[in-house]
Amino acid sequence: MTPAEFRKRLGQLQEVITRGLHYYAAWTNLLLREEGKVSWSLEEQNQVLGRFKGFFTPVGFALLHMAFIEFNKVFDTDPKAASLWNLLGAAGQDTSLVSDRTPADVAAVSRQSRQSRKMLTALKRRRNQQLAHVDADPAPVDPILKKDFDDLVEHVVSAFNWLSTTHDGRVISWEQSLQRVERDTSQILDMCVEQLRRQRSTAEDTRS
């Protein structure tokens, strides 16, 4: 793989990871509540999700499923794919692509990404049986726990940053765009909570 092709695929992989991070961040901030970061209670959040479940339920499923699909792409082994596996493989074969790091350095990064092997297997099975296809008689799929998926995301980001910085010194930060996703998702929930509070207050004033 030439340096130009390596850089091109890095850019394509960055887009895949960015989409996956954005979908996952929106899902997390929509359906989970982090104490101290929001002004509403868990009860109020559940009331909003229940009141508008015709919207939030399909949106929540779609966001999580799209996050799964994007992170599946990260580990695609098709030779034409701009995947983390293929880029690490190219770097292992030609270490000049990563500032002449040793093959052992590349192997160490690969091992770190493979630490989530069980999660990768569950993701692949879910994609094959439920997301990309619908198997009539699917095999059992291990549940995907948030902590395990968080670890996988961390390994992916770490490996990509290593490839990018060792290839041409570019440091990629997703923080600003992720903060925008988190802020906008929280603002939508905040407006819904305020609407329910006003409705509740109006109902109480009417009864009194």
pLDDT one digit per residue (tens) for the chain, 208 residues: 899 999 999 999 999 999 999 999 999 988 887 777 777 888 888 898 998 999 999 999 899 889 988 998 998 888 999 999 999 999 999 999 999 789 999 999 888 877 766 677 777 776 666 655 555 555 556 667 788 888 889 889 999 999 999 998 888 888 889 999 999 999 998 898 898 888 877 766 666 5
How many angstroms separate the CA atoms of 159 and 156, rounded?
5
DSSP state of 100: T
Instruction: Provide the pLDDT for residue 128.
Output: 64
Q: What is the pLDDT of residue 37?
A: 75
Is residue 6 within 8 A of residue 97, CB to CB? The reply is yes
- Specify whether the CB–CB gap between 52 and 89 falls below 8 A: no
Q: Are 124 and 116 contacting, i.e. CB atoms less than 8 angstroms apart?
A: no
What are the start-end ranges of the E strands in the chain? Answer: none
pLDDT at 166: 94
Residues whose CB is less than 8 angstroms from the CB of residue 190 and which lie 6 or more positions away in sequence, other chains included: 38, 39, 40
* Backbone torsions φ then ψ of 94, nearest 5 degrees: -140, 90
Q: Kindly tell me the sign of the dihedral angle through the C-alpha atoms of 18, 19, 22, 27.
A: negative
d(CA 79, CA 102): 23
| Per-residue pLDDT, 167 | 93
Three-point CA angle 93, 70, 56, nearest 5°: 165
d(C-alpha 195, C-alpha 109), whole Å: 49
Q: In the prediction, which pLDDT does 100 show?
A: 79
Q: What is the pLDDT of residue 89?
A: 93
Number of domains in the chain: 1
- The pTM (predicted TM-score) of the whole model is 0.86
Structure token digits, residue 177 = 């765009």
What is the Cα–Cα distance from 182 to 162, expressed in whole angstroms?
26
Which residue segment(s) compose the domain that 106 sits in? 3-207
Residue 153 CB neighbours (<10 A):
20
